[in-house]
Structure 1
Amino acid sequence: MKDEILLKIQKSFPLVAKPFEVLANELNITENEVIQILQDAKTNNIIRQTSAIFDTKKLGYQSSLVAFEIDNDKIDDAVKILNSHPGISHNYERNHSFNIWFTMAVAPDSSLGLEQTIKILSKLTKANDYIILPTLKLFKISVKLDTTNKEEKKEKIKKRDFKELELTPYHYEIIKLLQEDIEFISEPFKFIIDKLNITYDELFCIMNDFIESGVMRRFASILNHRHAGFNANAMVVWEIDENNAIEIGEEAASFSAVSHCYLRPKYKNWKYNLFTMIHGKTNTDTQNTIDSISKSINYKSNMALYSSREFKKTRISYFSNEFSKWEEKNQKGIA
């Protein structure tokens, strides 16, 4: 039963006043049983966070995947410096000369911008080299770990047309509150309607506007991969023909074990341009997915970069003053 609930709250969290009651009715158990199962999973660090997942770009932020080459004896100090930046949400050590991989975002009002911020960080961390790997094409972003072992191995990726939505100060207020990790209580959204003095109908109408415009990808629980039993997580990179990139990327993204799939640029010192994040319970599971993809797409070479250490994994706190504070403190790094 726990595995069924964990899968459900990753995929489609009910946007209603009493979401756990809805889940309970679907599973023919009580609301209290659902809440207790989820609370236990939270206590045991299986559930990392339950909140809104926003589209960084649609909120006006610049972002990119970045890889640094750091000497092994400098990694610990470098990680402290990197993790202090509020726009770094994910940070891992991987098995490559480019050994520190992180996602980086800077605020819409950044005085430094993305590239200058990365340049400053490379100096502060004493990086030997670095590459900036922005998204050229997004094929898939959806972390849904199959806790039940019942999901199909492949899935159809739905293409969506998003409506226009001009964000207002009122929207920003709601975005800030939706970022908060909800409590597992009967009415987990009540703190928002109480704070803003609005109705549930108003809140869920705005949340649906966020979803239909692509501003919010979904509201969901994110699991701690390793605590949920997924111990073999690899970023698999592929060298593919750019002329056929769309067809190849869509095929790679169709595998259910692939949570992220992007087209990124190539460089003289980096030939891989298709990135797939693959989650497996064992190295064999992950390798089986890699083998299946390799039989389905045309590629020149590939490489599996396993995460040996996780240094940071959190949601960005959008529209926080921590971004400007970091820039004020580190402006001297420009020189």
Structure 2
Amino acid sequence: MKDEILSRIQKKFPLVARPFEVIADELGMSEDEVLAILQEQKKANIVRQTSAIFDTKRLGYVSSLVAFKIAPQKISDAVKIINSHPGISHNYERNHDFNIWFTLAVAPNSKLGLQKTVELLAELTKADDFIILPTLKLFKINVKLNTTGKDEKKEEVKRVEHKEIELTPLHHAIIRYAQNDIEFVQEPFKKMVDAIGIDYDTFFGALDELQEAGVMRRFASILNHRKAGFSANAMVVWDVDEQNGEMIGEKAAAFSAVSHCYLRPKYPNWPYNLFTMVHGKSEEETNSIIEEMAAEIDAKSHMPLYSSREFKKVRIEYFTPEFEAWEERYSEAKE
């Protein structure tokens, strides 16, 4: 039942006082059995984190994928500088001249802004070149690894209309706590509710509001890809016609093995504008999926960029003072 439990917690996590009791009832198990399996998977680092997943932009942060061209002998020092920024959630070395790829978010009150932050990082790391690749169109962002082997090759990607919301101090407090990893215990939300000083109904009601507004994408577990057996994960970039980009992007997003799918800008030194993250248990399996996609996607060319090293993979902690402190520290160091 381990694989069924791992599959279940990656999907819609029960937002109730005792979520593992709900999962146990669904799978015909006891709550203690579910908790024991999950505690074991957490200890083995197969479950990376279980928490709310927030939409960076809906919270007022500005973000982008960024690629640096760093000389091999400078990578170690450069990575330390890049990873020191609290808005860096992912950072990988990939098999290309643009070899360091990271996602960067800057806070709503950032004095530098995204462009100047990237320029500062490029200067501090002595990057030979860089490209900024913001999202022009998001088709899919939903990491659900097929742990059971029963998922279909294609899936429907629904378009969701979000309600507008004005974030209150209570929303901000709940975001600060709900972004943290929960423990696998009977009542994993109790510490949060007690710390904020509210009851469960208020807590879950606010999370529902945040999800309806698109501020919270979902509450779910994220698995450690390699530990879960998905060791070959490629960022596949495609050169597609910009006028037909949306139609092509929707086709790409329909593949279940694709967790992320975006349209991004092209540059003279970077012709690829459709980005897809493809997950497989082996490079052979991943390449086979890419071939299937290539047969359906009208692209001038495509290129899989496998990661050779993972330097950072964390959730951004929102509404913390670290963003402002980083800007002050490195802006002053530059001067």
Judge same fold: TM > 0.5, yes or no.
yes
Give the match's secondary structure for 1:105.
Answer: strand
Equivalent residue, structure 1, for 2:265: 265
Q: Deviations over 1:62-110 (max 9, x none)?
A: 0000000000011011111111100000000000000000000000000
Equivalent residue, structure 2, for 1:295: 295
Give the match's secondary structure for 1:311.
Answer: strand
Equivalent residue, structure 2, for 1:277: 277
* Mapped partners of 1:95, 1:195: distance in 2: 45
* Mapped partners of 1:81, 1:192: distance in 2: 33
Gaps of 5+ in 1: none
Give the match's secondary structure for 1:191.
Answer: helix
- In structure 2, the CA distance between the partners of 1:333 and 1:252, relative to structure 1 (3 Å rule), is farther
**Does residue 117 of structure 2 align to residue 117 of structure 1?**
yes
Equivalent residue, structure 2, for 1:242: 242
Equivalent residue, structure 2, for 1:136: 136
Q: Is the 8 A contact 1:21 1:30 kept in 2?
A: yes
Whichever residue aligns with residue 47 of structure 2, its letter is: I
* Mapped partners of 1:322, 1:308: distance in 2: 29
* Mapped partners of 1:128, 1:169: distance in 2: 43
Q: Deviations over 1:165-219 (max 9, x none)?
A: 1111211011000011100000000112111221111111111111110000000
> Percent of counterpart pairs with the same letter?
65
* Mapped partners of 1:293, 1:114: distance in 2: 33
* Mapped partners of 2:89, 2:61: distance in 1: 13
* Mapped partners of 2:55, 2:154: distance in 1: 24
* Mapped partners of 1:328, 1:220: distance in 2: 34
Moved over 6 A (4+): none
Whichever residue aligns with residue 231 of structure 1, its letter is: S
The TM-score normalised by the length of structure 1 is: 0.99
**Does residue 37 of structure 2 align to residue 37 of structure 1?**
yes
Equivalent residue, structure 2, for 1:149: 149
Number of equivalences: 335
Aligned-residue offset at 1:334: 5.9
Q: Is the 8 A contact 1:116 1:334 kept in 2?
A: no
The TM-score normalised by the length of structure 2 is: 0.99
Give the match's secondary structure for 2:244.
Answer: helix
Equivalent residue, structure 2, for 1:73: 73
* Mapped partners of 2:261, 2:180: distance in 1: 27
Equivalent residue, structure 1, for 2:16: 16
Q: Deviations over 1:37-71 (max 9, x none)?
A: 11111100101110000000000000000000000
* Mapped partners of 2:193, 2:129: distance in 1: 48
* Mapped partners of 1:186, 1:79: distance in 2: 39
What is the aligned-residue RMSD (CA, Å)? 0.8
Q: For 1:1-335, what aligned pairs fall within 5 Å after superposition?
A: 1-332=1-332
Aligned-residue offset at 1:332: 3.6
* Mapped partners of 2:84, 2:250: distance in 1: 35
Aligned-residue offset at 1:292: 1.0
* Mapped partners of 1:79, 1:35: distance in 2: 37
Q: Deviations over 1:93-146 (max 9, x none)?
A: 000000000000000000100010010100111100000000000000000000
Give the match's secondary structure for 1:202.
Answer: helix
Give the match's secondary structure for 1:177.
Answer: helix
